[in-house]
Structures are given as C-alpha cells and as structure tokens.
Structure 1
C-alpha cells in the first residue's frame, strides 16, 4: 500500500480526534465569547481517568461512556462555582483564571499519577490489524475514525436539530435576545461548557491507547485546539471539522516527508489559511 495514502488515512483519524478536541473550544467561544485555556486540561483528565478506570479493572467500553460524562460533570461544577463570575470581565481575566485552573489540574495529575507517562492498552477486540488485499491498518485506529464520524453526526444533530442547539446558535449572535425569549442563559452556558469539556475528555479517552498518557499532554492539545479553531473559524462546528482534518492530514503526511518539521507545518498551514482567509475557512467575516 502506498505510504502516502496510509499517512492520509492516519491523518484523517488524527484529524477526527483533533476535531473532538477543538469543537468544544469553538462552541464555547462562539456562545460565551470566553477564552478557555483550561480546555486542554479536560482532555488530560479524560485520558488519565480512562487510564485509572482500566487499572481498576473497568472495561474500556464502559470507560468510553462514563469518563466523558464524569469530566463534563466536573466542568459543569467549575463553571457554576468559578467561571460564571468572570464572564463579564475582560478577556485578560478569562485567560488568567483558566490558565490557573489548567495548572492546578495538571499538578493534581502529577501528584496523583506521577510525572512519568504510561501506556493504555486498546480493548482486546480491537487489537491487531485489518487486512484487505494490500491494505493493512490497525483495528483500533479504524474504530476511532468510524466512532468519531458517527459521534460528529450526533453532535451536529444536537446543535442543528434540537432546542438546545437552536438556543446555542441564537446565543452566539445575541445572548440578550435569547434571554428575552425566556431561556435561562446561565443554564445554557453551563450545559454548553460541560458539553465542550466532555467532548475534549472523549478525545482524551480515544487518544490514550494510541499515544498513552503523560501529564503535559494537555498543553500540547490546547495549542493544537487553538490552531484548529483559528484555521476553521471561531464558533463554527464545520470549521472545527475542516480544520481538524486539514491539520491532521498535514501533520501526518509531513511526518513522512519531513519528520523534524511535521509540527512546524501545522503552524505554516495556519499562517497560509490566515493570509487567504483572515477569519478562518468557515468563519464569519
């Protein structure tokens, strides 16, 4: 099988994980105009909670369902207790408090699990490879592509076909108008923030068997998430999807063509998009 075609498929899988990571950040910013630098920490918690659940003997499939809900619940509490009080402040306050929250969560991970990373085994049913003629590919990575595609469709339906989604889209234009319609804006803020954290945690759970867990993976994830949001366009669901796939494929292909510069090319791609589309590929001008 052509190595570049294999890398493109790898890039699609990585890009779908990047989409899950970035879409929550994009939605939260689009609705709340809130710069959340703690977003990568929820990805970190998702990965480590999955690791701990498997260490306790929990089935991976159960962890896949429970961990994002648990992290989402934690984010819901944090939003109500801490973040709600700074929404009306300048973005500098948003940055300071969420960076502080991210550092606290990162240090807690180091205190509980130590500074050294660890591996997470893929479920037994997804270990090994799939062979179709000359096509050979790991089962787990194929599962990640399929699962994230289905989840993306469900998330799209929630945002486009439900009352919550209508309120979120209207709120991204004018929270005052939504409030006048009788919708509890603060409750909607809490739900959206929890949903964003849960999708980041889901990305962490799915990524754990691929890359393992280590305490600083949240910082790396946050940087990539911001790149994707900038490339795709602030507040855009499809922008996060397109941006995630673009960055994933660029990184994967460049890891073959120029391994040392693969990460650099992520930022080159971002710069190229911004030169052509300053508001992102799917952003509103």
Structure 2
C-alpha cells in the first residue's frame, strides 16, 4: 500500500451471509494515472463511489466515466480502469449465486456489464474516511431489501458452486439435467457452470500470491497447484482473463488492482445459514 492508501474488508451480518461474501472499502487520496487490469473473480459486486469514479476503457479504446454507483455482473474477460481523482469507495462482493434477488433480474442480463445503480442506492450516503460506517451503510440497505423482498437461495445451484469452491468435480448428469442446471446458472449466477469453474481455477493461482518480479517457475508451481496441466494452459487463461502474461501482471499491478487481487482470489465457499 502506498502512503495514504487503504483497503479493508468487513464480514456481512449473519442475516446476509448466505448472499454476501464480504464488504470491502478502498481509498487512495493521490492515485496514479496508471491503467489497472481487473480480472474475473466469479463474484458480482455492488460498488458505491464516495470519491471520484473510475474511467473504464470501452471498445475502440474510448474511455468513459463509470457511474458513481454500479453493479458489476459476472465477468468473462478483463476490464481496464484508471482513476481520475481521489478515490474512495465501498463495495459489496456477493457470492457467485448471491445477487439474483437483489438485482431482481436474471444475472445473465448483467454479465460483462456495469449497470448504473445511482437510483437504486439513492439515500445511501456513507461518510468519508470511516470504512466501518461505510460498510454498515451498505449492509443496512441490503438488509432492508432482503426483508422486504424475501431473498432465497437455489439449493441446487449453491451446491454446485460449493463444489467448485472446494475444487470437487461436477457430478455426472443426464443431458436433460445438465441443460437444466445450465439454465439455473444463467439465472442465478450469470454464466455457465463451465465458465464459472474456469474462473475459479484461474483465481486459485493467486492463493500462492507472488510478489512482482518473481520468477516464472513460481507461477508454474502456483498454476499446477491450482489445477492447470502445464504453463501454456495457464498462460492462455492469463491472456483470456487478464489480457497479459503472469509476469506482466506481477510487474504492472498497482493500487486498487493490487489490493483486490491480494484478497479477491482467496476462496471461501458460501454456506447456507
């Protein structure tokens, strides 16, 4: 962390734990203008900017300002962002299948998208400089919605997600049953079971957090531990999910990208209350 930069995580209240994995906050009063790569991590997020929102690179290299409140659905490819001013934000990281009832629509409608949530979060005003109060402001709003909307968990999808988190193989299913679970995943998770399993394998590489400049043999060991057969297979997923090589990522990661990478990829299977 640089001087004045901070990252903090807070567990959700028990009543929200079946849906919310963690609430996190980040602040950097003097961020660099470095472009930061954010990879898929299998978890949709609700993000509220207290400081200046980030810019995101779109098609054709066009940079546009993100809305100050947004919902980031499942990602199947990396995004590139850069700060434009002092950064301070609070975010809710849902379990892979935890955001369906909050969103009120199939999660597939948000896949690879950042949806404007300014109206949905109207009235939520977390105080600057107080991470714990910021986290509480978000969980208070979610708890009120949970009670009003009667959130549920799809036990079949949850069991499949837990198996992925634990790196257990998928059960054998008849073709009709497999199509049914795929439909349920698109609704509750936003991507297919196969895609989510690929993202989970990729993020397990980061359980062996490597420091910038570490030799490629260290990455190979981490990849083998995550379930890759060899380095070329892992390298393809780095290109697919981060748009760069492992060595480039280790050298270039800064600020928010570095902070969330050190935490986001730590698995913690969701459990029913």
TM-score above 0.5, yes or no: no
Structure with higher strand content: 2
Larger relative CO (CA 8 A, sep 6+): 1 or 2?
Answer: 1
Q: Of Structure 1 and Structure 2, which has the larger fraction of its residues in helix?
A: 1
